[in-house]
Amino acid sequence: MADTAKRPVKIVETVLRDAHQSLLATRMSTEQMLPIIEKMDQVGYYAVECWGGATFDSCLRFLKEDPWERLRKLRAGFKNTKLQMLFRGQNILGYNHYADDVVEYFVQKSIANGIDIIRIFDCLNDIRNLQTAVKATNKEKGHAQIALCYTLGDAYTLEYWKDIAKRIEDMGADSLCIKDMAGLLTPYAADELVHALKEGTNLPIDLHTHYTSGVASMTYMKAVEAGCDIIDCAMSPLALGTSQPATEVMVETFRGTPYDTGYDLTKLAEIAEYFRPIREESLASGLLNPKVLGVNIKTLQYQVPGGMLSNLVSQLKEAGKEDKYQEVLEEIPRVRKDFGEPPLVTPSSQIVGTQAVMNVISGERYKLVPKESKKIMMGEFGQTVKPFNPEVQKKIIGDETPITCRPADLIEPELPKFEKECAQWKQQDEDVLSYALFPAVAKEFFQYREAQQTKVDQAVADKESGAYPV
Ligand code: CO
């Protein structure tokens, strides 16, 4: 090692967000988290990622929990550790572009309820879609981390990454994250990438990857040696497979080196013991599918996320065209090129995947076009790194004129409308944001919450009136 100065690597613990989103369909409840957070708070993690992404929707939809209440409880328990959330730029945590007033209010309330670091990304890496969230985070004195979706393709040269890193620093980001959602970043490519980023920016660099293709812990090692400052890991019972490398393993890998975290392995082992039964129960119930725990080399072979491959299989099955799998796999890169070579992450991964399926099963390219494909070609998601294929664009949108501005510039303020629509259920300021993101699901949750409260009130009234023996 040429550089012997101490440079402890920082670790973001993902077990309370990405790890269970990747392995357990985001079903870990607040009740399952709370008993261990005091111990987790003693580790010395750089941050604990615990909110945002799919956790919000899952709380409301499946767990019948108020996501804001979860955040407040976690904040109360984590007295020393920074809390981090994942935020999809102008989409916030949903799938549409929201007006700036909603984005700003969401950031304000996230920080007010306990978030320290907001990781903000856009599926096209169109940094205009990050501006409002970054500015709002700066204003609320939060840490704005901009995440770039890592992908491969002609457009994604080291020059591209270096240049965009510089632009991100100019935008007001406090750190930069490489978000490798598909596990495409191999160890030696990570070495080159981190060196290039370090040339482009002075910002701390965080690497976020998934174990899907089996290379992730080696990738972290090379990245850290190249100067990467922060790595995202998950406690071993919910690590590997489609989740992150294991925290304990990375901590021990770097022990005694300049990158030594200094974390106490005994403490980590105790935390791991806490999560182990959750893994075992999830395996037994089928919530955790052993299939996602293996190595999926197809992600490297076809450069598509694992989740996208399984979606393809089910789409083809539904259409009774399973024999077309190989053809669709070959069509994906062509569609991606026609669509300006975007990274493949929600929602661009679904759009490109579905279009490829339709191109193959209809027997004619772009004969069937879902409305999301049209939206992307109309510029409604933002700008792609390369121009669209003009012939394909013409075939899809005809004579309509695509937009070239930041999509949210065309959206009028939306908060007043949402406030009005959810007024009858509102019990706290934050409810309007739950409603704005997932109207139907939030409404159902609000009704459930009221019904629960009525039950409790009735029980108290019965007790006071002597209906129950004391
Ligand atoms: Co992730």
CA of 156 to the centre of ligand 1 (A): 20
| Mean pLDDT of all residues in 84-101 | 95
Amino acid (1-letter code) at residue 470:
V
CA angle, residues 238, 91, 104, in degrees to nearest 5: 105
Please tell me the distance from the alpha carbon of residue 446 to that of residue 95, in angstroms, as a whole number: 21
Residue 335 pLDDT greater than 60, yes or no: yes
pTM of the model: 0.94
For residue range 409-464, what is the model confidence (pLDDT) as tens digits? 999 999 999 999 999 999 999 999 999 999 999 999 999 999 999 988 888 887 77
pLDDT of 363 = 94
* DSSP bridge partners of 148: 178
Residue 62 pLDDT greater than 70, yes or no: yes
Residue 95: pLDDT band (50, 70, 90) is confident
| Mean pLDDT of all residues in 173-189 | 97
CA of 19 to the centre of ligand 1 (A): 8
CA of 257 to the centre of ligand 1 (A): 27
CA of 66 to the centre of ligand 1 (A): 23
pLDDT of 3 = 54
| Mean pLDDT of all residues in 406-411 | 97
CA of 426 to the centre of ligand 1 (A): 32
Please tell me the distance from the alpha carbon of residue 352 to that of residue 182, in angstroms, as a whole number: 15
For residue range 117-148, what is the model confidence (pLDDT) as tens digits? 999 999 999 999 999 999 999 999 999 999 99
Residue recorded with tokens 């590997």: 240
CA of 120 to the centre of ligand 1 (A): 12
Please tell me the distance from the alpha carbon of residue 43 to that of residue 205, in angstroms, as a whole number: 21
CA of 80 to the centre of ligand 1 (A): 24
CA of 210 to the centre of ligand 1 (A): 6
CA of 159 to the centre of ligand 1 (A): 24
Using the 8-state DSSP alphabet, how is residue 405 labeled?
S
Cis status, amide bond into 347, omega within 30 of 0:
yes
Query: What residues sit around ligand 1, an ion, with C-beta below 5 angstroms?
Result: 18
CA of 412 to the centre of ligand 1 (A): 32
Residue 211: pLDDT band (50, 70, 90) is very high
Please tell me the distance from the alpha carbon of residue 311 to that of residue 296, in angstroms, as a whole number: 15
Question: Whole-number mean pLDDT of the chain?
Answer: 95
Please tell me the distance from the alpha carbon of residue 293 to that of residue 211, in angstroms, as a whole number: 9
Residue 466 pLDDT greater than 90, yes or no: no
pLDDT of 74 = 98
CA of 181 to the centre of ligand 1 (A): 5
CA of 208 to the centre of ligand 1 (A): 7
For residue range 274-309, what is the model confidence (pLDDT) as tens digits? 999 999 999 999 999 998 899 999 889 888 887 788
| Mean pLDDT of all residues in 339-360 | 94
pLDDT of 315 = 87
Residue 346 pLDDT greater than 60, yes or no: yes
HSE (side-chain half, CA atoms, 13 Å) at 430: 16
- List the one residue out of 297, 301, 396, 302 whose CA is nearest residue 340: 396
CA of 324 to the centre of ligand 1 (A): 29
CA of 166 to the centre of ligand 1 (A): 23
Residue 2 pLDDT greater than 60, yes or no: no
pLDDT of 468 = 57
**What is the C-alpha radius of gyration for the chain, rounded to an integer number of angstroms?**
23
CA of 179 to the centre of ligand 1 (A): 7
Residue 340: pLDDT band (50, 70, 90) is very high
Please tell me the distance from the alpha carbon of residue 329 to that of residue 303, in angstroms, as a whole number: 10
CA of 18 to the centre of ligand 1 (A): 6
Tokens of 368: 């069937």
Residue 353: pLDDT band (50, 70, 90) is very high
CA of 192 to the centre of ligand 1 (A): 21
CA of 22 to the centre of ligand 1 (A): 8
Residue 1 pLDDT greater than 60, yes or no: no
CA of 27 to the centre of ligand 1 (A): 16
